Amino acid sequence: MTSLKSKPLGVWMCAALVVGNMIGSGVFMLPASLAPYGWNAVIAWVLTIGGSLCLAYVFAKLAGAFPRAGGPFAYTEEAFGRAPGFLVAWSYWISVWVANAAIAIAAVSYLSVFLPGVAKVPALPALLTVAVVWAATAINCMGARSAGWTQMVTTVLKLVPLVAVAGLALSVLLQKGPAAVTPFEPSLLSGGSITAAAALTLWALLGVETATIPADKVKDPARTIPRATLAGTAFAGLVYLVVSSGVLLLTPTAALQGSNAPFVDFVTYHGGGDFRLALAGFAAISALGALNGWSLIQGELPAAMAREGVFPAWFAKTSANGTPVRAHLASSVLVTILVLMNYAKSMADAFTFMALLSTTSTLFAYLFCSLAVLRLQRQGRMVRSKALGAVAALGAVYSIWTFYGAGWSVTFWGLVLLAVGAPVYWLMRRTA
């Protein structure tokens, strides 16, 4: 029988994993990327939260029916077979280490507030970003419990600046009234702008599935994972809608566009300069917490794939405390390469590109898992429910729509990275 000690993740740690992975760099960096979209971005937030809740419900039901480690890979394999399962897992793994590059950049971007000269020294931001990546890797190599406690602490800490910014936004509204808000002009709304903004807002809510990945380390996964997934997604969505929209609509576009630290600029613009360093510090902690959570995923996923025989067995090797150290190290090497390849870009531009690439790669998993529910229902392997079928269909439509919003360039690179997985799968089949 598996001991409780070997399953260190309970409902609070799983919820912290979901919330902590969602509320990371996105809430603090996206106002700069979304600034050109104005009210289109607010509508995109509403649609993204709705789509994310559909996906959260899909993953909650799949986790209850198939409490296996591996998350998207496991569910896609159950419905469509090993080859589609592998390609989904491959694209999802890519999305995770690409996301970690973006999150690490966000952390250093906010830390640069304390060291204004960092951005002026060639390659220094990239080297600091790499150092942050390997610090998170070291924590995760200590074991899932260490990563879980770190996630809980950083999740609590990251809520402090969000509450402060929400309070400042409310204060501005009470003092200045509706005149402080960017005017709502229906003529500026467009389907294309909403769709493009939605591809970015989904980046902030990536993570609905994260509690499903380390299922073999979760206490009572059939009950714990669904509860943590739904509650965590709803909470994170509400926080994003209130806080991000407040920053976006109460700050001039010119002050946000291209900003390395939009939350700090928001506070400074409204006369809160005395708190800007504290806010930057909490924002950096938030990004570091998300990096910690996603680092857990980037190691556990390839290890789970290796145990299933679709990834080299080398990745499945664990340390004495059950941690897939090799998988963590290999993933972090890829993060490092990506960061160094993009160091010539500004931190804001590098963040936006990696956020879109990560989102696109994740959408393959979201689409296939939504379709998996429909197929498994037809096969009689999941409870037949019109409500679940409708939600899964909405999740699939939402995923396809967001693919379109990401743009052809980023989608192309996502498809290229997905195609690279085909020869890997072929080699694994030959050596099996």
- The pTM score is 0.83
Average pLDDT for the chain: 86
pLDDT above 70: percentage of residues in the chain: 95
Using 50, 70 and 90 to split pLDDT, how confident is the model at 3?
very low
Mean pLDDT for the stretch of residues 152-161: 82
pLDDT value, residue 376: 97
Task: Give the integer Cα–Cα distance in Å for 282 and 313.
Answer: 39
Q: Is the pLDDT of residue 138 over 70?
A: yes
Q: At what angle do helices 191-205 and 26-34 cross, to 10 degrees?
A: 160
Residues 6+ apart with CB under 8 A from 47: 194, 198, 398
Q: Of 172-181, 259-268, 305-314, which range is least confident?
A: 259-268
Mean pLDDT for the stretch of residues 417-427: 87
Mean pLDDT for the stretch of residues 69-77: 87
Output Rg (C-alpha) for the chain, integer angstroms: 21
176 Cα distance to chain centroid: 35
pLDDT value, residue 1: 39
- Is residue 55 within 8 Å of 229, Cβ to Cβ? no
Task: Give the integer Cα–Cα distance in Å for 107 and 102.
Answer: 9
pLDDT value, residue 344: 66
Residues 6+ apart with CB under 8 A from 65: 376, 381, 382, 383
Q: Residue 138 is encoded by which pair of tokens?
A: 């070291």
Task: Give the integer Cα–Cα distance in Å for 205 and 429.
Answer: 35
pLDDT value, residue 428: 83
Q: Of 58-62, 244-248, 343-347, which range is least confident?
A: 343-347
Mean pLDDT for the stretch of residues 362-377: 95
Show me where the domains of the chain are located. Answer: 22-431
Q: Residue 168 is encoded by which pair of tokens?
A: 């400042």
Mean pLDDT for the stretch of residues 217-224: 84
Best mean pLDDT range from 176-190, 199-213, 267-281, 324-338: 324-338
Q: Residue 364 is encoded by which pair of tokens?
A: 């393959």
pLDDT value, residue 31: 86
Of 145 and 163, more confident: 163
Nearest to 358 by CA among 49, 96, 110, 167: 96
- Is residue 346 within 8 Å of 76, Cβ to Cβ? no
pLDDT value, residue 399: 94
pLDDT value, residue 18: 87
pLDDT above 90: percentage of residues in the chain: 30
Sign of torsion over alpha carbons 370, 373, 379, 381: positive
Q: Is the pLDDT of residue 4 over 70?
A: no
pLDDT value, residue 184: 73
Query: Which CATH architecture does the domain made up of 22-431 adopt?
Result: Up-down Bundle (1.20)
Q: Is the pLDDT of residue 95 over 80?
A: yes
Best mean pLDDT range from 35-44, 256-265, 283-292: 35-44
pLDDT value, residue 7: 66
Q: Is the pLDDT of residue 324 over 90?
A: yes
Read off the amino acid at residue 361: S
pLDDT value, residue 346: 66
What is each CA distance from 127 to 16, 54, 110, 174, 355, in whole angstroms?
A: 29, 39, 15, 44, 20
Q: Of 32-46, 324-338, 406-420, which range is least confident?
A: 406-420
pLDDT value, residue 115: 81
Q: Is the pLDDT of residue 262 over 70?
A: yes
Q: Of 247-251, 258-262, 366-370, which range is least confident?
A: 258-262
